[in-house]
């Protein structure tokens, strides 16, 4: 049984410690003692992943003598291949653990010492399993499990004991269920399966649990695609428009004249459509294009020309300590040169190092830069609209 974090987000399972990589949160199953077998739990989806899953994946499940990945052993392995939403092949094997199966385990999975007495031992059983999953061991076909951390940790240690190596990619239906399956009492496999109308014929047996897990993912793929579509719409709203680039160009030109370190000046548009001009990740100045007009956020004690309209900021914008200054053409903001210079100096002391690396491409895709040519281009555009 078994961990997609945000399409998936940060995994709340305390057992799994994540490492960030491009376009996906990943749990690296490699440890210092044995570095030959790795598994990556994919925790962020895109359309390419959806297409891959719709074409083919292999759902897996294990039964064990207990809960300890260090002292307990796998006693049953099950897997099903699902291609284009249909089960095309099934795998099941008992494994002789060469140890007594505790009564507590037998009560759950109904597997006894007698049932595994003549079963293949760990290495022989794993060899058959590897033949079944094929290219999955070389980051090919994606594996699927419910509470994948549990299954993959047991399999990892068994593989390493037997000298098998490889790298696998895994999708966890438990995380998807926790995040996207609503209206259920809990997110146990049996509960989620019942929610989707999937029959359970032999719970806590590896082959049937693998089948159920695989069929659950088939129901979850449309949920993930809906999330991707919604995220696309959100991303579209966070793209900087031509008009907004004009304001950015004016503000960056003031920074350039001040002598700012321009290679580290970034533009960031947040989910509320505010655009921050930043030094690294520290905001220098913020502005927004609203229905009532474009405005720049300034400290309330900033002197502003009488001809320009101001109003108090909302609480989320800083409250009474700040004000909105409305403008029709960004060229009217050039008088703020000294203010921008002071805010730039302040920002240099507020930089939080490595924030971009920590947030990876979830934040990176919203961070933009402007070249000198871009600045010149958009200032020219603003001048062409200047009201005389």
- Per-chain mean pLDDT for the chain: 88
Show the domain range for 90: 19-234
Per-residue pLDDT tens digits for 115-174: 999 999 999 999 999 999 999 999 999 999 999 999 999 999 999 999 999 999 999 999
**Are 212 and 96 part of one and the same domain?**
yes
pLDDT band at 386 (very low <50, low <70, confident <90, very high): confident
The string of DSSP letters for 240-266 reads PPHHHHHHHHHHHHHHHHHT--GGGEE
197 — pLDDT class (breaks 50, 70, 90): very high
d(C-alpha 288, C-alpha 326), whole Å: 10
Residue after which a domain boundary falls, among 204, 234, 264: 234
pLDDT band at residue 36 under the 50/70/90 scheme? confident
Does residue 221 share a domain with residue 95? Answer: yes
- Percentage of the chain lying above the pLDDT 90 cut: 81
Q: In what order do the strands lie in the sheet with 310-312?
A: 310-312, 322-327, 293-299, 282-290, 275-279, 265-269, 367-368
Catalytic residues: 204
Question: Would 114 be classed as within a structural domain?
Answer: yes
Do both 162 and 292 map to the same domain? no
- The whole-angstrom separation of Cα 116 and Cα 135 is 28
Note whether residue 306 is domain-resident: yes
Residues 264 and 216 in one domain: no
Mean of pLDDT values over 337-346: 96
Under a CB-based contact definition with an 8 Å cutoff, are residues 145 and 60 in contact? yes
Please tell me the predicted confidence (pLDDT) of residue 114.
97
Domain tally, the chain = 2
Same domain, 229 and 247: no
Please state at what angle helix 47-55 crosses helix 206-237, rounded to 10 degrees.
Answer: 150
Q: Which pLDDT does position 26 carry in this prediction?
A: 32
230 and 257 fall within a common domain: no
pLDDT at 37: 83
176 and 43 share one domain: yes
pLDDT of residue 1: 43
Residue 28 domain flag: yes
**Is 248 contained in some domain?**
yes
Confidence category of residue 385, pLDDT binned at 50, 70, 90: confident
Assess whether 250 and 351 both reside in one domain.
yes
pTM for the model: 0.75
In this structure, the answer to whether residues 183 and 284 fall within a common structural domain is: no
53 and 99 inside one domain: yes
Residues 38 and 169 in one domain: yes
Q: Is the pLDDT of residue 362 over 50?
A: yes
In a domain, 268, yes or no: yes
Residue 344 placed within a domain = yes
Residues 248 and 212 in one domain: no
Confidence of residue 227 (pLDDT cuts 50, 70, 90): very high
User: Does residue 188 lie in a domain region?
Assistant: yes
In the three-class reduction of DSSP (H, G, I as helix; E, B as strand; rest coil), residue 53 is classed as helix
222: CATH: 3.30.420.10
Domain boundary among 209, 234, 259: 234
pLDDT digits (tens, 9 = 90+) for 282-305: 999 999 999 999 999 999 999 998
Band (pLDDT 50/70/90 cuts) for residue 73 is very high
State which of 210, 234, 258 marks the end of a domain: 234
Residue 191 covered by a domain: yes
């Amino acid at each position: 049984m078994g961990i997609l974090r945000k399409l998936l987000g940060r995994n709340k399972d305390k057992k799994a410690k994540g490492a960030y990589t491009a376009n996906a949160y990943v749990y690296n199953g490699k440890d210092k003692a044995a570095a030959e077998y790795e598994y990556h739990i994919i925790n962020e989806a895109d359309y390419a992943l959806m297409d891959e899953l719709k074409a083919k994946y292999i759902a897996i499940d294990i039964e064990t003598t207990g809960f300890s990945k260090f002292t307990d052993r796998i006693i049953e392995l099950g897997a099903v291949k699902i291609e284009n939403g249909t089960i095309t092949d099934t795998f099941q094997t008992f494994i002789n653990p060469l140890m007594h199966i505790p009564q507590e385990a037998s009560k759950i999975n109904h597997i006894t010492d007698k049932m595994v007495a003549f079963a293949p031992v760990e290495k022989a059983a794993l060899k058959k399993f590897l033949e079944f999953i094929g290219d999955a061991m070389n980051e090919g076909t994606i594996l699927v499990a419910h509470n994948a951390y549990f299954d993959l940790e047991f399999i990892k240690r068994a593989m390493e004991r037997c000298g098998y190596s490889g790298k696998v990619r895994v999708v966890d239906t438990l995380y998807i269920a926790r995040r996207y399956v609503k209206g259920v009492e809990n997110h146990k496999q049996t509960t989620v399966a019942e929610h989707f109308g999937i029959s359970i014929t032999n719970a806590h047996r590896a082959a049937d649990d693998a089948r159920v897990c695989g069929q659950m993912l088939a129901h979850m793929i449309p949920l993930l695609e809906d999330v991707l579509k919604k995220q696309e719409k959100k991303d579209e709203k966070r793209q900087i428009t031509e008009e907004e680039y004009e304001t950015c160009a004016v503000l960056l030109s003031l920074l350039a004249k001040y002598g700012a370190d321009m290679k580290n000046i970034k533009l960031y548009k947040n989910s509320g459509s505010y655009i921050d001009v930043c030094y690294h990740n520290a905001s220098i100045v913020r502005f927004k294009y609203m229905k009532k007009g474009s405005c720049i956020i300034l400290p309330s004690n900033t002197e502003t020309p009488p001809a320009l309209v101001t109003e108090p900021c909302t609480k989320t914008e800083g409250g009474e300590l700040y004000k909105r200054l409305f403008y029709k053409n960004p060229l009217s903001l050039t008088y703020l040169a000294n203010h921008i210079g002071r805010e730039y100096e302040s920002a240099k002391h507020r930089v939080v190092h490595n924030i971009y690396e920590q947030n990876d491409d979830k934040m990176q895709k919203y961070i933009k830069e402007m070249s000198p040519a871009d600045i010149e281009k958009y200032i020219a555009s603003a001048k062409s609209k200047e009201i005389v």
